[in-house]
Chains A and B, each alone.
Chain A
Amino acid sequence: MSDVASPGSKPGFSSDVMIQMTGVHKWFGEFHVLKDINLTVHKGERIVICGPSGSGKSTLIRCINRLEEHQKGRIVVDGTELTSDLKHIDTIRREVGIVFQQFNLFPHLTALENLSLALIWVRKMPKAKAEEIAMNYLDRVHIPEQAQKYPGQLSGGQQQRVAIARSLCMNPKIMMFDEPTSALDPEMIKEVLDVMVELAESGMTMIVVTHEMGFATAVANRVIFMDFGEIIEQNDPHNFFENPKSDRTKLFLSQILHH
């Protein structure tokens, strides 16, 4: 692994702030799903968020590109504040890519069309150029030979790699992953994680919601533990796994590291 991917305990990245969340709250009806979230993400940082299901991890990252709307507090992404202003939302969505647990590929389009669609309709690119870029990214996730296949013809791991390529080809500054390997068969998890490790080595700013603790140890600069909508604890991977401070973190780690 290259030196970029082996983080020291002190952050060695530049101080450019990519995401700044201050005092963010969100409710689903009566349910208080995010409670006073304060989080700063720097350029090139690789953050892993873990925690029990229902703890608000997915909601947190979905707030960053406005798939969910926060009700209190501020979220600033690369200098643009997230408000209901559609221009701001467009700007932020252009800079933030997201990969979903269920892939959410467009089933009526081929892998190549899944990638080139937004280049053509959002970036207003010529079709030939869009397809050239799309092919480059399919190459990068190691499945150029599947370009003309439809999602239904691909395995889960291949679909998730197409989904990663679809986000990447919009050239985002930040990539977010919402449990990218949870819907995959065990033998396919590695191929997706390999792609994510390569991405981390290239210096991409990443926020990953996952329970793959091996990935966290190998790649993350910082691990965040969430429970009941709060950030309970955050630390570099070594200290997080070796010396967890809060009891809830200890309990969670003992449960997931048992097997």
Chain B
Amino acid sequence: MAVVTGTGSDTRNPIARLWGNKKARSVIVQIVTMAVVFGVLALLYRNVVVNLAAIGKEFSFDFLNAPSAYDITFSPFIEYNSRSTHLRAAAVGILNTLLVASCGIVLATVMGFIMGVLRLSKNWLVNRTVYCFLEFTRNVPVLLHILFIHGLVVTQLPVPKQAMNFADSFFLTNRGFFFPAPVPEAGFWIVATVFAISVVFVIAFGRWAKKVQDETGRTYPVFWISTGAIVAATAVAFLAAGMPLSWEAPALKGFNFKGGVAIKPEFIALWLALSYYTSCFIAEIVRAGILAVSYGQTEAAYAVGLRPNRTLQLIIIPQALRVIVPPLASQYLNLTKNSSLAIAIGYMDVVATIGGISLMQTGKEMETMMIVMLTYLVFSLIIAGFMNWYNKKMALVER
């Protein structure tokens, strides 16, 4: 075997010699990769142009300003009717996706953390019950859960005329959940102002309590004092201003309820199914996170005199979070993307509106799909960005 030294003695041809050089090789690989990527992109672009031309279509977003000519049954945030534009329809869909995804993330997180802790319970019955629920739920596709809950709501709940009635204000029916809408009256701004002031006060109090602890070592029950202050101040202001709030109760008109706030069965079904399905994965992540903190940490905390609740707060949770957060982020992304299954039960999310009916009516496949993809991409990047920032903040310093 020839001994290769720095210069002169290499008998291989120049290309082989270049390939054998570590630096040169990585440059070559990068150039080739870039060439392939741009080649594929160019091919796709050419395909689009040629094929759209062949069927006489042009690539344009002008259709967004045309009237949509279809109804959307669930638009809680913005005014919408069939004379609104496709752009508005897209906005309704995007907001509905955002609504179900954010509500789902909140509920899934709460349920997931509770089940994850219960799964570690020493109580055999609690532990096993949660275990069975988790294993059953997360091994059945989420689409079936959505259809199941939707079916349950639509077929098992009574029709509006026989609605389940709670105190003549809350009505549970197969057309949705209805409850009174708050209507602020003159003077309500006083209550709102007092509430805002008390929140500012509580934040200041929290800072002050921290400072007092740093300086004198005294600790206050900050959580209870804060909650009490906000509730008490707001209640007093509410009574003093003469209770400036009335409720618009839903009432049965014809075949359905009118007035109040209505939560559609499609939203309930999608929200619940996505939440409990995702919460099962979160529960396992939380359990793994807590178990990943070695028992020695608990022992060391006990040995210096910390009580179990303080040990959890100061020692276990800060360490468990760094294990929990990265996989938690991907569960949030999953939930958001799974919300596109809304179309199965007719919840009008971004796929059902712009990516569904608008697409059918205008034939703008490229444009509508690009809007849908962009929507999910932006949501996902926002979630991922936030979780990365949080994870960096929690990371351990080593070396």
Binding site for B on A (CB under 8 A): 65-67, 90, 93-94, 96-98, 100, 102, 104-108, 117-118, 120-130, 150, 152-153, 163, 166-167, 170
Contacts and interface: CB of A to CB of B under 8 A. Distances in A.
B71 interface: no
Contacts of B397: 150, 152-153
B300 interface: yes
Nearest to A127: B214
Contact of B398 (A90, A152, A167): A152
B214 A93 contact: no
Contacts of A121: 219, 306, 310, 314
B217 A100 contact: no
Nearest to B214: A127
B396 A107 contact: yes
Nearest to B212: A126
A67 B303 CA distance: 8
Q: How large is the interface on B (under 10, 10 to 19, 20 to 34, 35 or more residues)?
A: 20 to 34
Interface string B65-109: 000000000000000000000000000000000000000000000
B314 A67 contact: no
Contact of A126 (B214, B296, B297, B304): B214
Contacts, number: 89
Contact of B217 (A108, A129, A153, A170): A129
Nearest to A149: B397
A93 B294 CA distance: 20
B304 A108 contact: no
A100 B305 contact: no
A120 B296 contact: no
Contacts of B322: 108
B269 to A, nearest CB: 41
B163 to A, nearest CB: 51
21 contacts: A65-B303, A90-B305, A96-B303, A102-B296, A104-B294, A106-B301, A106-B319, A107-B319, A107-B398, A108-B322, A117-B304, A117-B314, A121-B306, A121-B314, A122-B305, A127-B213, A128-B214, A129-B217, A152-B398, A166-B304, A167-B304
Contacts of B296: 100, 102, 104
A67 B300 CA distance: 9
Interface of B: 213-219, 294, 296-297, 299-307, 310, 314-315, 318-319, 322, 396-399
Contact of B219 (A67, A100, A124, A167): A124
A129 B299 CA distance: 25
A98 B300 CA distance: 8
Nearest to A124: B217
A98 B306 contact: no
B303 A167 contact: yes
Nearest to B315: A106
Contacts of A130: 217
Contact of B215 (A117, A127, A153): A127
B299 A104 contact: yes
B213 A120 contact: yes
Given A97-B304, A108-B319, A117-B306, 17 more contacts: A90-B305, A90-B307, A104-B296, A104-B299, A105-B300, A106-B300, A122-B306, A125-B217, A126-B213, A127-B214, A127-B215, A128-B214, A129-B217, A150-B396, A150-B397, A152-B399, A170-B304
Contacts of A94: 305
